[in-house]
């Protein structure tokens, strides 16, 4: 009898949690101010992020942006990455090593994990209204690559915070 009662309570709590999450997701999806972003790979810790639509990020903030056309993802797929470079920062590359204002941020790879070619991203001074997006993961597909490049302000969906 106790086992059945525990199972009933557990199933009830799971049902309540699923309902609550569904309501929150629906509310966020319909909201002009927020949306939920999902991280589907290991480039960042966490899976679910709350995105504050229209809020521009600062250096080291997490933010969502729509990708430019590239050969590996559908057009405008939202990415969630860390803002590492802001307008006025100097982006340099020495061999495969990328730096921002003289501080190394990571290496660029020549090929994807599947062996497809990659091209090193732009270098120079980040112009007004452009950002360098990044994560520390060795396979992060970010501004180190020409296919993503520097992200213009109009492609930024908003600042994001990790929910879980």
- What number of other Cβ atoms are within 10 A of residue 105's Cβ? 20
Q: Which of 164, 163, 158, 128 is nearest to 61 (CA)?
A: 158
pLDDT tens-digit map of 26-73: 666 667 787 778 777 888 888 888 899 999 999 999 999 999 888 888
Residue 85 confidence (pLDDT): 98
In this predicted model, what pLDDT tens digit does every residue of 89-122 receive, in sequence order?
999 999 999 999 999 999 999 998 889 899 999 9
Place of tokens 């990455």: 81
Nearest CA-CA partner of 65 in 124, 132, 6 = 132
Residue 148: CA count within 13 A, CB half-sphere: 24
Check: CB of residue 54 under 8 Å from CB of residue 98.
Answer: no
Query: From the centroid of its chain, how far is CA 23?
Result: 24
| Lookup result for tokens 């929150």 | 24
Q: Is the pLDDT of residue 130 over 80?
A: yes
């Amino acid at each position: 009898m106790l086992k059945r009662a525990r199972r009933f309570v557990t199933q009830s709590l799971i049902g309540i949690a699923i309902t609550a999450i569904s309501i929150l997701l629906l509310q966020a999806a319909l909201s002009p101010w927020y949306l939920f972003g999902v991280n589907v790979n290991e480039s960042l810790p966490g899976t679910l992020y709350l995105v504050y639509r229209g809020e521009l990020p600062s250096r080291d903030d997490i933010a969502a942006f729509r990708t430019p056309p590239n050969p590996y993802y559908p057009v405008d797929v939202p990415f969630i990455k860390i803002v590492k470079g802001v307008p006025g920062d100097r982006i340099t590359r020495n061999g495969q090593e990328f730096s921002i204002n003289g501080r190394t941020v990571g290496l660029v790879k020549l090929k994807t994990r599947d062996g497809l070619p990659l091209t090193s991203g732009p270098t120079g001074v980040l112009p007004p209204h452009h950002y360098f997006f990044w994560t520390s993961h060795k396979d992060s597909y970010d501004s180190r690559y020409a296919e993503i490049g520097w992200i213009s302000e109009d492609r930024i969906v908003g600042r994001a915070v990790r929910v879980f």
